[in-house]
Chain A
Amino acid sequence: EAEVAQSPRYKITEKSQAVAFWCDPISGHATLYWYRQILGQGPELLVQFQDESVVDDSQLPKDRFSAERLKGVDSTLKIQPAELGDSAMYLCASSVPLQRGGSYEQYFGPGTRLTVT
């Protein structure tokens, strides 16, 4: 069964350092998402790609976060410099339209758990 791949699974970094996460969506999924999930909360959308284009990055803290999906396949999310408040699970998802259309079924990867010390 096809899955969304993410790496690393765990990352510990010191504040002010740079950190990067990688995601490989399910083959053929044009839409890719990066979410941040703080413990005890639901996923919060950071950025959404359609192929290589950003369609929503309104919640991405652009002073320190960047995301790219250069060839419309895999994607990288970067944080520089990392802050203590960035400690969270970073989830990548890709999607297909719901059978009915109009919205999407999202397939999530296992996430990268980031701890900033």
Chain B
Amino acid sequence: AQSVTQLDSQVPVFEEAPVELRCNYSSSVSVYLFWYVQYPNQGLQLLLKYLSGSTLVKGINGFEAEFNKSQTSFHLRKPSVHISDTAEYFCAVSEGRSARQLTFGSGTQLTVLP
């Protein structure tokens, strides 16, 4: 069975500083990996996804993530954050293409401080 661990529940960071949100997964087969963002009072939005190919994936709003198969990680990074990046970030893994197969982490609340 697949599982996802987001090690940090809260990450405070100052504006314009870099940030890394950590995500580790476990699975016995190849997986697809996702990062979603949830802004206050909104639904989850897809930030980026890894399906195959290049292990460095670029998403919206300047975020990127790197798939590391040996470390079973898919950490999310941004070199310089803005106040507007304050949100909850969810990592998700899926062993197939069906939305039923998505397993989500418990989320990381990113708070960008002025």
Partners in one complex: no
A interface residues (Cβ-Cβ under 8 A, vs B):
none
